[in-house]
Structure 1
Amino acid sequence: MPVKLSGGGGDHEEEARIEIVPLIDIMFFLLASFMLVSLSMTQIHRINVKVPQASTAVHDAKPPTIHLAIDAQGVTTWDTAIVTPTEITNRLKNLPVTDETRVLIAADEETRHKSIVAVIDAIRAAKVEKYGFETKTPSK
């Protein structure tokens, strides 16, 4: 029901009304902002590798602090940057290593053993004790 405004000595009456279009514009702006913020919160940590299956794999609820990936050709990446074993050791030494510091290694199932051992040696050289391998559970 519209509200009637009176006053000012004029004979014409004006109806007060709420403009919906600016409210809709604001709502679309907020929706777009929340969508962009939520997309920026998702993190892509590494390259895509085909990890091997393990029937005894255990799900770890705590996310690791460092993600390393080794592709089928033996190229190692830290998040999305290509690194050498020496760079891995140097970067780990520069990080504040705590008891909670953990490294997750995602090695492609076609990766040579030599590449994996080089990454493990680089992690151990930086005095990081907690590391693990990413696997997937077999499909049933």
Structure 2
Amino acid sequence: MQVVSPRKKRPRLEIIPFIDVMFFLLATFMMVSLAMIKNEGQTVDLPFAKSSTAVERKEKETTVTITDKGDIYLNKDKVSIESLPAKIVELKQLDSDPRVFLNGDCKASFEKVTAVLDIIRKNGVTKIAIQTTKEPKGQAKQ
């Protein structure tokens, strides 16, 4: 007696689950890469400058931030203006030619920003970049 088997169907390769998996992986990698961006300083509203250019940031850089209230941060640590020279000297001992990024809030006192800039320069740091933005706050590109 012969047993008749049902017609064998070729397995189908469904593409929709593969597309779902690829979108999930893409979203995951995007979120992970965004989380890897390192922000050393405090977040402030940077001043607007049409002539600003991008500077390549490297691993060993220090950010000095002046907030609109006049607070000073060395990377993420709050420091007083009196203790800043000692911190800059300490930075200079760790790296003979350090790079410093100066973040001044657009509403920060110009006197305070120049005082901090003066302290940094007096303590031997020559590579200083003042961070700005190319777009005025609250305006979109035209």
TM-score by length of 2: 0.61
2:7 matches 1:13:
yes
CA–CA distance in 2 between the matches of 1:110 and 1:72?
4
Alpha-carbon separation, structure 2, partners of 1:88 and 1:59: 28
Runs of 5+ unmatched residues, structure 2: 137-142
Q: Secondary structure at the match of 1:14?
A: coil
Closer, same or farther: CA 132–32 of 1 in aligned 2, 3 Å: closer
CA contact (8 A) 1:51 1:135 kept: yes
Q: Is the 8 A contact 2:52 2:132 kept in 1?
A: no
Question: Does residue 34 in structure 1 map to residue 45 in structure 2?
Answer: no
Runs (5+) with no aligned partner, structure 1: 1-8
Q: CA 1:131 to 1:34, structure 2 compared with 1: closer, same or farther past 3 Å?
A: same
The share of aligned pairs that are identical, in percent, is: 28
Which sits farther off after the overlay, 25-34 or 41-50?
Answer: 41-50
Q: Is the 8 A contact 2:64 2:72 kept in 1?
A: yes
- Greater Rg over alpha carbons, structure: 1
Note closer, same or farther for the CA distance 1:94–1:17 as it changes in structure 2 (3 Å cut).
farther
Cα gap change, 1:83/1:25 in structure 2, threshold over 3 Å: closer, same or farther?
same
Query: In the alignment, residue 96 of structure 1 is paired with which amino acid?
Result: D
| TM-score of the two chains, using structure 1 as the length reference | 0.61
Q: What is aligned with 1:104?
A: 101
Q: Spell out the pairing of 1:1-140 with structure 2 (5 A cutoff).
A: 11-15=5-9, 16-20=11-15, 22-52=17-47, 58-64=51-57, 65-84=61-80, 85-86=84-85, 88-98=87-97, 101-108=98-105, 109-111=107-109, 113-114=111-112, 116-118=114-116, 120-122=118-120, 124-125=122-123, 127-135=124-132
Tell me, what secondary structure is at the counterpart of 2:91?
Answer: helix
RMSD: 3.6
